[in-house]
Amino acid sequence: METPRHWRLKKQRYALVGEECPHCKAKIFPPRDVCPECGLEAKTVYHFSGKGEVYSYTSLTDAPAGFQASAPYAIALVKLEEGPIVTAQLTDIGNEPVKIGMPVEMVTRKLRDDGDERGMIIYGYKFRPVLS
Amino acid sequence: METPRHWRLKKQRYALVGEECPHCKAKIFPPRDVCPECGLEAKTVYHFSGKGEVYSYTSLTDAPAGFQASAPYAIALVKLEEGPIVTAQLTDIGNEPVKIGMPVEMVTRKLRDDGDERGMIIYGYKFRPVLS
Amino acid sequence: MAITASDEPVVIGTGIVPVREAWETSLRDLGSHVVRAALKDASNPKVDALYVGNAYGNVLSHQANLGALISEHSGLCGVESHTVEAAGASGAGAFRAACIAVQSGWVDVAIALGVEKFTEVPGSEAESAAALTLNYEYESSQGMTLQAQAALLAQRYLAHWNLSRDIFEGVVIAAYNHAADNPNAMFHGMDEKRYRNQPIIADPLGLYDTAFLADGAAAAVIVRKSTAQALGVASPIFVRGSANAVAPLSLHDRHDLLSWDAVRKSTLAALHKAHLSLADIDWLELWDASVIELVLSLESGGLLEAGKGWQSPPKPVNQSGGCLGRGNPVGASGMYQLVESVNRLQNEDAGRNALIQAVGGCGATAITHILSN
Amino acid sequence: MAITASDEPVVIGTGIVPVREAWETSLRDLGSHVVRAALKDASNPKVDALYVGNAYGNVLSHQANLGALISEHSGLCGVESHTVEAAGASGAGAFRAACIAVQSGWVDVAIALGVEKFTEVPGSEAESAAALTLNYEYESSQGMTLQAQAALLAQRYLAHWNLSRDIFEGVVIAAYNHAADNPNAMFHGMDEKRYRNQPIIADPLGLYDTAFLADGAAAAVIVRKSTAQALGVASPIFVRGSANAVAPLSLHDRHDLLSWDAVRKSTLAALHKAHLSLADIDWLELWDASVIELVLSLESGGLLEAGKGWQSPPKPVNQSGGCLGRGNPVGASGMYQLVESVNRLQNEDAGRNALIQAVGGCGATAITHILSN
Ligand SMILES: [Zn+2]
Ligand SMILES: [Zn+2]
């Protein structure tokens, strides 16, 4: 059980809350103290749209501890419309083959099930194909 | 579950198997490559008698993970007859107050119950007062 | 290039946050916050290296390779970085690594960071994790804990010198009361009544006899004296001595439980390097993760005679409050001692010498620095 | 004392054991065994410091403060010691710490040790633990693993350059076949049929495209050239260049996924320090915890053009078999590269230069050394 950490990250994980750099207007995710684009201080909260495209992906059959219930799963780097890249699982992909460039959108799903750690269930962002 | 480690340590834990330095005859426990007394190589197996006396002790009410079932328990440094000092729990002490210098002898008991780690039970040495 | 001995390491900037339970902050944020504060304090020189002192990040935050994580988060992409671990001496180890690096001439501007985050997990798990610094195969696997180790030392000490646990009262109350003046400390004073009513948690030690595990971070910017001059730094603090010495990790492997070889060796080596003796030291910050550790440090370091380490020392010791009064972010505590000492020396008359010592494990690793203004 | 630039660090002794699944041996025994072998090889000089490169001991062996543990077990009570951690670059980090320490003049004889023990726990737990070197809050907590990271890089690489996964076959088979000549390697050859029948474990990467996690230890004794002369060492190996550079830990934080900034910076800085260019390097040992990491190291290090890192390099690379062929004791692998290279240079004609590079995380930390005989 790791309540403090998950409570702390809830905002980012539920809603893709990052930052906008007040100096160079870069959009930043994950949030941090220093803008990776201009090196100045960044603190303005920014809500991402949750829209993006697959930048790279793979699928895992051997899942690590806590993720076995969702295995096999696809994990990806998703390039958000606003610029940053996010690491996340893909979900609801059905039989559609995943491709680099495929448009995706954020949804909230169960991330892990800490069977070993007193049954805590953690929710967070995943991405699914945009229905066209 | 940590089978390899516990399998490896079983000999020492069940029977206090250490070493005798072939150079200076020092008795060594835990076993190691270099004699702590003379700095030369030590590899000759030596079986300790398991008799000794309490060198220092304390008792814990807040036990660490894996040891809650035996809490509160007394833990001690036991000085073996042959010289080395061993870290071990005291057991079967009843109402007798533990004292520095109290004679004790080794017994095999359940050490920990890894409820979190797939129910593995680990046995090893503890020390009890010598009945006089 | 050839570095001359007189071109010694100096501290030109520091960053620190109060020790606390920083639930809302990550290991990474704690670390990068003080790194940036230290850099600002040093007027933002170009950084070559960031050495991270941390003991428990792997276990408590599931996070290794803090060097890459924290340097990026601090806006320092591309510098040199790695983690230095030596249990409670990790922060002091990072400071020594930074001093050695600038002294080698291979690095010009180094940051030493100490950072620790215990409140990622509930308290009981943090206590269990803290036992990582014991010998797992022959100590923690027997049910030994950090507090039990301190208790075994204390029990033997009291028996050997035929003393009662009352001797600890004055030492502990002094620590908590010194902390009242330290803005980075968690605790602010202690009276006899509260101390005497404490629960005994590992006989003969009570709740207040062992420092509370907490979160914290502190950092310092270290350069050579010539670099400081080139950067126009007015009054750097000099690192005159530095030494690291280890003893057997397990209590049961030591020839004499009550004599701390690592502390003695490290103290003597640091003084020797500084061409100073204990008589030249104006004040000291010594290790007190538990009260008995301070007693044994005072004795093994040569400040008080064997059996008298609980008496009033002949020089000011732990005016910061120490780990007992400040709270103990283990791998960061050594950097708290150093950063607070640097800041104090900056406000004192010139010519003062301070001896700062952190200990990892229960007397297993001792890292000593001598700072001068 | 003043150390001149020409009084550079040299290696005067090494110790190594074959990479394997060392069920019957502890982390401590593995480490002390090679430390003692290295000391014997160096004719047992008096040791000042032992720097321990290790990435996972805290988690897999529940053991911190390896410095005190292993130095006592090696018969080195009282020396300086701490752990250096930088994921896969931990061993190389310990080597660099030893070089910097002797170069500073504060330490005369230093041992660098790399040691890793995966077989304390079942394989699945070891794989999970290995993910510690990812960003926990934003990578491993999403279900990311080391193999998945490599797969994401490989997938993007193939798409970007419009290539198929067949390009990896030649690179991997060469590694396994080189390992056939390395007595420290776990694997001894690979044929096309076996490679092509491998299961895909993280598309596009198969079982043999990622190095197997295993146990191992290797150590070296490092002194200054003048100390080696005083000790009467006939032919030390010179450390001409050394550099450590980090990049953002997480793949998603990098500006260009396929360009490894840490590798480029570290390579250039090490060459610059050695006053050499790539043209002067006779052979290289580069990082290949997965096949794509070797491809990107070859490109970012400047040996092959972008998009062509899978082609045959213009100089001998990884004749040891690399991590793929040797097996990967992560925090020790950097010391395997270095110790094997030292031993090889001792048997070659004088005037050879070798570039040795370890990478921690997936391109996050790169530590490069240039060795000459
Ligand atoms: Zn910006
Ligand atoms: Zn002997």
Banded model confidence at residue C288, pLDDT cuts 50, 70, 90:
very high
Which residues is C244 bridged to in the sheet?
Answer: C367
Contact C363/C293 with Cβ under 8 angstroms? yes
What pLDDT, in 10s, does the model give residues C31-73?
999 999 999 999 999 999 999 999 999 999 999 999 999 999 9
What 3-state class would DSSP assign to C30? Answer: helix
The pLDDT assigned to D368 comes to 98
The pLDDT assigned to A2 comes to 59
Contact D68/C246 with Cβ under 8 angstroms? yes
Residues 6+ apart with CB under 8 A from A57: A74, A75, A76, A77, A90, A98, A100, D152, D155
* CA B41 to centroid of ligand 2, rounded, Å: 7
Contact D219/D38 with Cβ under 8 angstroms? yes
The pLDDT assigned to A119 comes to 54
Cα–Cα dist A1/C317, whole Å: 40
Q: What angle do CA C343, C347, C349 make, to 5 degrees?
A: 130
Residues 6+ apart with CB under 8 A from C205: B58, C147, C150, C151, C154, C165, C168, C290, C291, C292
Domain ranges of chain C: 5-121+213-231
Token pair listed for D207: 């079982």
Interface residues of B toward C, Cβ cutoff 8 Å, are 5, 9, 30, 36, 55-65, 67, 70, 73, 75-77, 84-89, 100, 111-112, 122, 124
Nearest to B87 among C127, C156, C250 (CB): C250
Cα–Cα dist D139/D134, whole Å: 6
A3: number of Cβ within 10 Å? 13
The pLDDT assigned to B1 comes to 42
Q: Which amino acid is at C122?
A: P
On the question of pLDDT at D35 being above 70, the answer is yes
Which residues is C219 bridged to in the sheet?
Answer: C15, C113
Q: Report D:207-246 residues touching C (Cβ under 8 A).
A: 242-246
Strands C9-16 and C216-224, how do they pair? antiparallel
Comparing CA positions, the residue from D206, D329, A35, D26 lying closest to residue C141 is: D26
The pLDDT assigned to D5 comes to 65
What 3-state class would DSSP assign to D133? Answer: helix
Cα–Cα dist A10/C91, whole Å: 31
Record: contact D86-C77, CB cut-off 8 A = no
Element (H, E) at C298: helix C291-300
On the question of pLDDT at C1 being above 90, the answer is no
Nearest listed ligand to the Cα of residue A40: 1
Show residues of chain A in contact with C75, CB under 8 Å: 33-36, 39
Q: Which amino acid is at C51?
A: Y
The CB-side HSE value for C202 (13 A sphere, CA atoms) comes to 28
Domain ranges of chain B: 1-48, 50-132
Token pair listed for B113: 């119950």
Nearest to D142 among A36, A65, A111 (CB): A111
Read off the DSSP letter of residue A34.
Answer: B
Banded model confidence at residue B132, pLDDT cuts 50, 70, 90:
low
What 3-state class would DSSP assign to C12? Answer: strand
C-alpha distances in angstroms, D202 versus A74, A99, C200, D193, D208?
Answer: 9, 15, 54, 20, 11
Banded model confidence at residue B2, pLDDT cuts 50, 70, 90:
low
Mean pLDDT rounded to a whole number for chain D: 95
The pLDDT assigned to A1 comes to 42
Q: Which amino acid is at B111?
A: L
Cα–Cα dist C332/C215, whole Å: 8
* CA D32 to centroid of ligand 1, rounded, Å: 49
Query: Would you identify the CATH topology of the domain C5-121+213-231?
Result: Peroxisomal Thiolase; Chain A, domain 1 (3.40.47)
What pLDDT, in 10s, does the model give residues D255-291?
899 999 999 999 999 999 999 999 999 999 999 999 9
The pLDDT assigned to A131 comes to 75
Nearest listed ligand to the Cα of residue B22: 2
What pLDDT, in 10s, does the model give residues A68-119?
888 889 999 999 999 999 999 999 998 889 999 999 999 998 887 765 455 5
Cα–Cα dist D179/D321, whole Å: 4
The angle, 0 to 180 degrees and rounded to 10, between the axes of the packed helices D90-104 and C90-104 is 60
Concatenate the DSSP letters of all residues of A64-121 into one string.
PTT-GGG-SEEEEEEEETTS-EEEEEE---TTPPP-TT-EEEEEEEEEEEEGGGTTEE
What pLDDT, in 10s, does the model give residues B87-100?
999 999 988 899 99
Show residues of chain A in contact with C36, CB under 8 Å: 33-34
Cα–Cα dist D128/D123, whole Å: 9
On the question of pLDDT at D1 being above 80, the answer is no
The pLDDT assigned to A120 comes to 64
Give the residue-averaged pLDDT of D75-90: 97
The angle, 0 to 180 degrees and rounded to 10, between the axes of the packed helices C66-73 and C27-41 is 60
Contact C12/C223 with Cβ under 8 angstroms? yes
Is 1.10.3110 the CATH number for A50-132?
A: no
What pLDDT, in 10s, does the model give residues D104-149?
999 999 999 999 999 888 777 787 888 899 999 899 989 999 999 9
Show residues of chain D in contact with B7, CB under 8 Å: 23
Which residues is B104 bridged to in the sheet?
Answer: B52, B129
Give the residue-averaged pLDDT of D51-60: 95
This prediction has a pTM of 0.97
The pLDDT assigned to C238 comes to 98
Token pair listed for C127: 């206590």
- Closest residue on chain C to A10 (Cα): C24
C-alpha torsion angle, residues D357, D360, D361, D363 (rounded to 10): -40
The pLDDT assigned to D2 comes to 64
Number of H helices, E strands in chain C: 13, 11
Give the residue-averaged pLDDT of C156-163: 98
Nearest to B88 among C128, C142, C156 (CB): C142
Sign of CA dihedral D98, D102, D103, D106: positive
Q: Which residue has the higher pLDDT, B120 or B126?
A: B126
Record: contact C202-B67, CB cut-off 8 A = no
Contact C207/C59 with Cβ under 8 angstroms? no
Cα–Cα dist A53/C116, whole Å: 37
Number of H helices, E strands in chain A: 1, 8
Q: What angle do CA C138, C143, C147 make, to 5 degrees?
A: 105
What pLDDT, in 10s, does the model give residues D136-186?
989 998 999 999 999 999 999 999 999 999 999 999 999 999 999 999 999
3-state helix, strand, coil in chain B (%, to 5): 15, 45, 40
Q: Which amino acid is at D29?
A: D
Cα–Cα dist C112/C51, whole Å: 5
Please tell me the least confidently modeled range out of B14-18, C264-268, C296-300, D305-309. Answer: B14-18
What 3-state class would DSSP assign to D5? Answer: coil
Comparing CA positions, the residue from B92, B98, B103 lying closest to residue B57 is: B98
Show residues of chain B in contact with C140, CB under 8 Å: 64
Banded model confidence at residue A14, pLDDT cuts 50, 70, 90:
confident
Read off the DSSP letter of residue C23.
Answer: T
C-alpha torsion angle, residues C322, C159, B91, D60 (rounded to 10): 30
As a residue count, chain C comes to: 373
Give the residue-averaged pLDDT of D189-203: 95
What pLDDT, in 10s, does the model give residues D356-373?
999 999 999 999 999 999
Question: Judging by beta carbons within 10 Å of its beta carbon (0-12, 13-18, 19+), is residue C336 exposed, middle or buried?
Answer: buried
Q: Per-residue b/e over B33-62, b at no fewer than 16 CB within 10 Å?
A: bbbbbeeeebeeebebebebbbbbbbbbeb
Instruction: Order across the sheet with B44-47: list the strands.
Output: B27-28, B17-20, B44-47
What pLDDT, in 10s, does the model give residues C181-240?
999 999 988 999 999 999 999 999 999 999 999 999 999 999 999 999 999 998 999 999
Q: Per-residue b/e over C110-139, b at no fewer than 16 CB within 10 Å?
A: bbbbbbbbbbbbeeebbbbbbbbbbbbbbb
Cα–Cα dist C246/D344, whole Å: 34
Mutation target vs D (from A28, A32, A87; most D CBs, 10 A cutoff): A87
Concatenate the DSSP letters of all residues of C90-104 into one string.
HHHHHHHHHHHHHHH
Instruction: Order across the sheet with A27-28: list the strands.
Output: A27-28, A17-20, A44-47
What pLDDT, in 10s, does the model give residues D213-250?
999 999 999 999 999 999 999 899 999 999 999 999 99
